[in-house]
Amino acid sequence: MGGRENAGTILYVLNILIVYHLRLGDIARCLPIAKYFADQGHNVMFECLPEYHGLFEMVDYCKPLYPQNDHSGFHRIINLQIWPDLHEDFCASELGWSDYVYGLFPEGKDIDRQIVLNSPAIVTPPELRSWVLCFPTGYSQDKKIDVRDVITIAHQVANGRPVLCAGKAAHGMAEFESIEYMCAYIRDAQEVVTINTSTSILASALRKSWVHISDSPKHDFKHPNQRRIERKF
């Protein structure tokens, strides 16, 4: 463990590993934790599945790591995963995702939860700036909503402008070739309408405003820059 002297105080530089393997939006919501420790001068790695490593193309304060059993090179491991070991406890608690996860380690209460991403390097088509980008499908909704209803809302927001719908190919939707491409489109579209919590979470780091269709309080993501459409649960 390295150390350096600063104004009479020895500051120790730690190798810190944050562990959260699954779900793009949840991984993105953990990034402020990585930034908090990196801003203190520590070396931070983030262990997640490789399909999410593209998110780190827009991050300069930590690097992704493949899931592995050998963590011997780290001074501190912060495992924030709810699934599977903490899932039952999370469901029984009255806390939403962010309050629950940020309460799993002592510094969580002091961390600014605003996600910081560098602007994607992708150049999008100029016509996108007059389009509405719609994400009509989600994965964790407690109360599913018909995709046609979401698309209808997007057309109401568009008021005659083109609407581009995107999601997962498995859901019969057009799918972006990478996370960075998706983020670039979220950044550049004139409007974004989403039922998908992950894309709403990414929008909070990339846009000043977007339309978010709510989920249940347990799984919803709230941000002051959202224009929210509330559903009853």
Q: Could you tell me the residue ranges of all domains in the chain? A: 2-110, 126-229
Residue 143 has a pLDDT of 67
pLDDT, residue 176, reads 94
> SS3 of 58, please?
helix
Give me the mean pLDDT over the 75-103 stretch: 95
Nearest to 202 by CA among 55, 64, 80, 57: 55
Confidence of residue 233 (pLDDT cuts 50, 70, 90): low
- At residue 19, the pLDDT reads 98
User: What amino acid occupies position 170?
Assistant: A
The pLDDT assigned to 138 comes to 78
Q: Which has the closest alpha carbon to 200: 29, 11, 18, 22?
A: 29
pTM, two decimals, is 0.91
Residue range 173-226, pLDDT digits in tens: 888 999 999 999 999 999 999 999 999 999 999 999 999 999 877 778 999 999
Summarize the confidence of residues 166-171 as an average pLDDT: 81
For the stretch 25-47, pLDDT in tens is: 999 999 999 999 999 999 999 99
Residues contacting 66, CB < 8 A, separation 6+: 47, 50
Provide the pLDDT for residue 6: 43
Residue 141: the pLDDT is: 61
Q: What value does the mean pLDDT take over residues 100-124?
A: 96
Share of the chain above pLDDT 90, in %: 81
Evaluate the omega torsion of the peptide bond into residue 84 and state whether it is cis, within 30 degrees of 0.
Answer: yes
Predicted local distance difference test score (pLDDT) of residue 169: 77
pLDDT band at 1; cut points 50, 70, 90: very low
**7 has a pLDDT exceeding 50:** no
> Stretch 89-101: mean pLDDT, rounded?
94
pLDDT over 70 at 167, yes or no:
yes
- Which residue spans within the chain are E strands per DSSP? 2-6, 9-13, 15-19, 43-47, 63-65, 76-79, 132-135, 163-165, 191-194, 210-213, 226-229
Of the candidate ranges 108-117, 165-174, 179-188, the one whose mean pLDDT is the lowest? 165-174
**CATH number for the domain running over 2-110:** 3.40.50
